[in-house]
Amino acid sequence: MDFSTPLDDISLAALKKDCRRTQEKVYRMFSPAAWTLAVRLCGCDAQAWDAVQAGFVRAFERAGQVRQADRFGAWLKRIVINQVMDLNRHRFEPLPENDNALETTKPFNHEILDLEKALDRLESMDRTVLWLHDAEGMTHGEIAELVGQTVSWSKSRLSRARARIRPSLEDTGHEPVVKVMPR
Partner 1 sequence: MNNDAINDMNSLNLSSLPPLDPPPALWASIRSELDQRQTARRHRRGTFSASAVAAVAVAVLAVVINLVHQPNLSPGPDSTSILAMSADESALIQARQVSALLEASLRRQNLGAVNTVSVESLVWLENELGWLDTRLASNPNDLDLWQQRNQLLNEMNRLYGQSSWQAQMQHASLQQL
Candidate segments 6-14, 52-60, 70-78, 88-96, binder of partner 1 by CB under 8 A: 52-60
The vertex-3 CA angle with 166 and 61, nearest 5°, equals 120
Q: Is residue 20 at the binding interface for partner 1, with CB under 8 A as the rule?
A: yes
Q: Which is nearer to partner 1, 68 or 180 (CB)?
A: 180
134, 142, 145, 172: residue in contact with partner 1 (rule CB under 8 A) = 134
CA neighbor of 180 nearest in space, from 118, 127, 137, 144: 137
Residue 42 burial class via C-beta count within 10 angstroms: exposed 0-12, middle 13-18, buried 19 and up: buried
DSSP string of 28-62?
Answer: HHHHHHHHHHHHHHHSSHHHHHHHHHHHHHHHHHT
- Compute φ and ψ for 127, nearest 5 degrees: -65, -40
Candidate segments 6-14, 64-72, 81-89, 134-142, binder of partner 1 by CB under 8 A: 134-142
Candidate segments 5-13, 69-77, 87-95, 161-169, binder of partner 1 by CB under 8 A: 161-169
CA neighbor of 108 nearest in space, from 98, 96, 120: 120
Q: In the range 88-127, which residues lie near partner 1 by CB under 8 A?
A: 115-116, 119
- Residues binding partner 1 (CB under 8 A): 2, 18, 20, 23-24, 27-28, 31-36, 39-40, 45, 49, 52-53, 56-57, 60-61, 115-116, 119, 130-131, 133-135, 140, 155, 158-159, 162, 165-166, 169, 176-181, 183
